[in-house]
Amino acid sequence: MRVKKIISVSFLSIVTGLLVAACGNNHQTSTTNRDSSTLKLLYWQAPTILNPHLSTGFKDAEASRITLEPLATFDNNNQLIPFLAAEIPTVENGGIAEDGKSVTWKLKQDIKWSDGTPFTAADVVFTYEYVANPQVAAVSKGNYDVVASVEAIDDYTVKVNFRDVNPAWYLIFVGAQGMILPKHIYQSYNGENAREAPANLKPIGTGPYQVVEFKPGDTVIYEPNPEFREADTLGFERVELKGGGDATSAARAVLQTGDADYAYNLQVEAPILEELEAAGKGKVVANFGALMERIIINHSDPNKATDDGERSSIKFPHPFFSDFKVRQALALAIDRDTIAKQLYGITGKVTPNFLVAPQQYVSADTSYEYNLEKANQLLDESGWRDTNGNGIRDKDGVEMSIVFQTSVNPLRQKTQAVIKQGLESIGMEVELKSIDASVYFSSDPQNNQTLERFYADLQMFTTGNTNPDPGTYMKFYICEEIPQKVNSWSGYNNSRYCNPQYDQLWQQSNVELDTQKREEIFIQMNDLLVNEVVGIPLVHRADVVAFSNDITGYELTPWDMRTWDIMNWKRQ
């Protein structure tokens, strides 16, 4: 694989992962037999909704990011760059209040939504009101809880007032979770009817391309947005986003057959990627940002239901994972080194931490261990023994039978197999469950197979902070983020873990202006999660995608969606 530099080392000291192999001299373009004016994007995890504030899935946010924009975002040099903002607020230009309690944004003028309606400060104010409305049940609401109010000073000036001092003012209206919605389109859907808005499926945006056709779970068709401020510079007359299949077939379509220009989230074994890239039609691009593949432990009982039918309810603790020693044994029985080295190769590395980037927030005081003998000892001490000779530990009539779920993906299924072998060797019965990605990562609150519902004992997926500031990401584990029926399963804390000590640390991080002290608080939070075995970090994953050799202009950043700069993509 040829070297492709993506993330430069800056004050955040983020490590960039590069996939390397020999370069051929006779690479063929992939557009010989198809229309070069069409950009073909292949997503084996198909989007199901195009409103990022109503979805926890990266796939939905990526598809939305083609049409919607934030005020600003962080680029690959970890610098804030404006999109809908005219400039980045600073203390010097009066944008950042000296008391840390407000930030004022100047907006670009003459911006229009794709239906021709002018973009103004009213849209920014409305986006806050929409996201903050509990009836909407926006998944991004947690970002905005620190906000007291958002006011339009004039048509092109917005002031964000915080409830207290806020060292992370740049989390509001910035990046993937800061995309602005048009007031005139959504104002009639600012409540319990939020998911009924037609624009959830056919958004009106300020971005470079507009949706002309959407089949949820299948395809999205885009054409240039005629109102886009740089419409005459766009590289394509049509963008086709196709969902379905699997990560390996997506990689093959770009790297080997040339049937697509871009493949998303290639969670594929490294040797297979190397073999496919050798065909010479595309290149693999990877970088280590903040993504981490992890095991989520259900702290609630997925097999009990409340009177109104809610499973995995906080009312019912898990029958054995509520026991700290059992969680310790679980972690000791997982061979993380084998998973990282044999399955991920140079596209992943073992980590004991939940917070893996930026570097100044990464704890040096944590560790991991693979020790079956110690795991067995801990289970014995907890009273979990095989009393009936069936090979499964039990206690008080409850057997240690586990359902372990994840999305359909060959790499994840192989990881599941390694984990199952370790757990069965210490007396746990493990049933593996694989759910189609479009279902598992769906935003539909009626879908009972989502990662938020978590009707299993263990589950596995990747997430991480999408911003250099880890505040929003570390909020995932506070008590109020637990997805429940009462909040339409919209929270991020699907483990149902609740610890007032952790919540207090997170609250401290919200108001600590001293940079070093704030870093120490985040490390404390990470260490608490690790030491309490809230979940099990597995692999610090490289973000791996593939591009056709003739596609240029892209520049991945770990702090936004991969489509953040699609207005710059061109065919050579």
Query: What one-character-per-residue DSSP string does 495-545 give?
Result: T----HHHHHHHHHHHH---HHHHHHHHHHHHHHHHHTTSEEEEEEEEEEE
Q: Do 442 and 243 touch, CB atoms closer than 8 A?
A: no
**Single-letter code of the amino acid located at 380:** D
pLDDT digits (tens, 9 = 90+) for 521-560: 999 999 999 999 999 999 999 989 999 999 999 999 989 9
Query: Do the beta carbons of residue 193 and residue 51 sit within 8 Å?
Result: no
Task: Enter the pTM of the model.
Answer: 0.75
pLDDT (tens place) for every residue of the chain, 572 residues total: 333 333 333 323 323 332 322 233 333 343 445 689 999 999 988 899 999 999 877 889 999 999 999 999 999 888 999 999 999 999 999 999 999 999 999 999 999 999 999 999 999 999 999 999 999 999 888 889 899 999 999 999 999 999 999 999 998 999 988 999 999 999 999 999 999 999 999 999 999 999 999 999 999 999 999 999 999 999 999 999 999 888 899 999 999 999 999 999 898 888 899 999 999 999 999 888 899 999 999 999 999 999 999 999 999 999 999 999 999 999 999 999 999 999 998 889 999 999 999 999 999 999 999 999 999 999 999 999 999 999 999 999 999 999 999 999 889 999 999 999 999 999 999 999 999 988 998 878 889 999 999 999 999 999 998 888 999 899 999 999 999 999 888 889 999 999 999 999 999 998 898 999 999 999 999 999 999 999 999 999 998 999 999 999 999 998 999 999 999 999 98
Concatenated DSSP letters for 213-249? EEETTTEEEEEE-TT-TTGGG-S-SEEEEEE-S-HHH
Are residues 399 and 393 in contact, defined by beta-carbon separation less than 8 angstroms?
A: yes
pLDDT at 24: 32
- Three-state SS string over 284-342 comes to EEEEEEEEEEEEEECCEEEEEECCCCCEEEEEEECCCCCCHHHHHHHHHCCCHHHHHHH
The Cβ-side half-sphere exposure at 444, using a 13 Å CA radius, reads: 13
pLDDT in tens, 460-471: 999 998 888 999
Structural domains of the chain in order of their starting residue, each with its CATH number: 46-243 (3.40.190.10), 290-466+533-541 (3.10.105.10)
**CB contact at 8 A, 218 and 46:** yes
DSSP labels for 172-187? TTBSGGG----HHHHG
SS3 273: helix
> 418-453 as b/e, with b when 16 or more CB fall inside 10 Å?
bbbebbeebbbbbeeeebebbbbbbbbbebebbbbb
Q: Tally Cβ neighbours within 10 Å of residue 495.
A: 25
For residue 33, the model assigns a pLDDT of 56
pLDDT of the residue at 209 = 98
Residue 446: per-residue pLDDT? 86
| Structure tokens belonging to residue 66 | 């083609």
Integer angstrom CA distances of residue 79 from 7, 9, 14, 95, 168 = 12, 12, 13, 16, 14
